[in-house]
Amino acid sequence: MAHITASVEYGIHSLLWLAASDAAPLSSRDLAEFQGLSPSFVAKIFPKLEKAGILKATEGVRGGYVLAKAPEEISVLEIVDAIEGRKPLFDCLDIRGRCVVFGEDPPAWATAGVCSIHAVMLRAEKAMRESLASQSLANVARAVGRKAPAGFSDEVRNCLQARVVARAGRSKA
Amino acid sequence: MAHITASVEYGIHSLLWLAASDAAPLSSRDLAEFQGLSPSFVAKIFPKLEKAGILKATEGVRGGYVLAKAPEEISVLEIVDAIEGRKPLFDCLDIRGRCVVFGEDPPAWATAGVCSIHAVMLRAEKAMRESLASQSLANVARAVGRKAPAGFSDEVRNCLQARVVARAGRSKA
């Protein structure tokens, strides 16, 4: 399994559609069905994004999720950390103290500070995280938007809204 | 499991000891036992490092592995790629064409080029790989060496050599 999993892909795509929906609340089912994704899979992602302060939930028959802040203020790193947790790139087992030269009792210098191999991995992780932190949801939305023809965003908004209206109708019936 | 696994940690530690052994060939068992690691686990790593041109094998009763090039010429990225394979940070499922707005047949613009989310992940992966590529085995060895007291490298060399001599003796007996 890749370090950054399909849950992040589904999450970012869902946030992009939410950003495009013009602040109309959408349920995780609305967004899953709209994207041809498994609703139960997507449903697991949204509470994590809510807990991280990226989404907020609204109540009522037309309730659902909205972005908790502007797309410019949501970094890709925040989304990744919210969904994946803060998992390290490299999980150092700190084997340096086990060398037979040390016997049963490694000297303090041998295990002092961060292992030099771990330090290299932490620098690489920092570079990766800084790159993800430098990109916002708004940046990604603009990149997607540049590909779409004029009128597409209206089409998306209408389609998402029709879905919300249909859901509200079903829940009243 | 972390993206960069314990095999890389074991591999880099083993390469550091090989670099410290002054070109005396060491077997993967020598290195595993010297470090208090599982010999069968370490034995799986060495053929990968040999295939990548980082180690070379020498024959004979005192045979074993030596570095195939100078520690300055071995980057941490090379070691990681040799051991882990070239696994991606993010495995894009390219879900962008599944949106219901497109029906069964997504338009060419919707799936043209690299997905904008994938592009962000590729940039982060590049930053991580550049960081790993900028560090050589020699850099890591120097960082480790700065912590060790004077005389430690002689102690290591003697201990490793005693191991090789004992192995050669056993194989003659």
Contact B36/B73 with Cβ under 8 angstroms?
no
Q: Is A118 a domain residue?
A: no
Band of pLDDT at residue A172, cut at 50, 70 and 90: low
Q: Collapse the DSSP code of B99 into the 3-class scheme (helix H, G, I; strand E, B; otherwise coil) and give the result.
A: coil
Q: Is A130 a domain residue?
A: no
Show the DSSP H helices in B21-151 as ranges.
28-35, 39-51, 76-84, 108-111, 116-133, 137-147
Q: Is B117 a domain residue?
A: yes
ipTM of the complex: 0.91
What is the tens place of the pLDDT at every residue in B13-65?
999 999 988 768 899 999 999 999 999 999 999 999 999 999 999 988 778 99
Q: Is B1 a domain residue?
A: no
Contact B45/B7 with Cβ under 8 angstroms?
yes
A6: number of Cβ within 10 Å: 17
| Interatomic CA distance for residues B149 and B129, integer angstroms | 32
Query: Which amino acid, A33?
Result: E
Dihedral of CA atoms A155, A158, A160, A166 in degrees, nearest 10, equals -140
What is the tens place of the pLDDT at every residue in B81-119?
999 998 999 989 889 888 888 988 999 999 888 999 999
Q: Collapse the DSSP code of B136 into the 3-class scheme (helix H, G, I; strand E, B; otherwise coil) and give the result.
A: strand
Contact A4/A71 with Cβ under 8 angstroms?
no
Q: Does A109 touch chain B (CB under 8 A)?
A: yes
Q: Is A15 a domain residue?
A: yes
Q: Into how many domains does chain A fold?
A: 1
B125/A128 CB distance under 8 A: yes
CATH number of the structural domain spanning residue B111: 1.10.10.10
Band of pLDDT at residue A156, cut at 50, 70 and 90: confident
What pTM was computed for the model? 0.91
Q: Which helix (H) or strand (E) holds A140?
A: helix A137-147
Burial of B113 (0-12, 13-18, 19+ CB in 10 A): exposed
| Interatomic CA distance for residues A21 and B155, integer angstroms | 68
Q: Is B79 a domain residue?
A: yes
Residue to test with chain B: of A10, A18, A131, most B Cβ within 10 A: A131
Q: Which residue of B has its CA nearest to A31?
A: B99
Q: Which residue of B has its CA nearest to A107?
A: B148
> Domain residues for A144?
6-86+136-172
Q: What is the mean pLDDT of residues B137-162?
A: 89
Contact A32/A42 with Cβ under 8 angstroms?
yes
A-proximal residues of B, 132-151, CB under 8 Å: 132, 135, 139-140, 143-144, 147-149
Cβ neighbours of residue B30 under 8 Å, at least 6 residues apart?
B64, B160, B163, B164, B167
What is the tens place of the pLDDT at every residue in A78-94?
999 999 998 999 989 88
| Interatomic CA distance for residues A8 and B117, integer angstroms | 10
Contact B84/B4 with Cβ under 8 angstroms?
yes
| Interatomic CA distance for residues B10 and B45, integer angstroms | 8
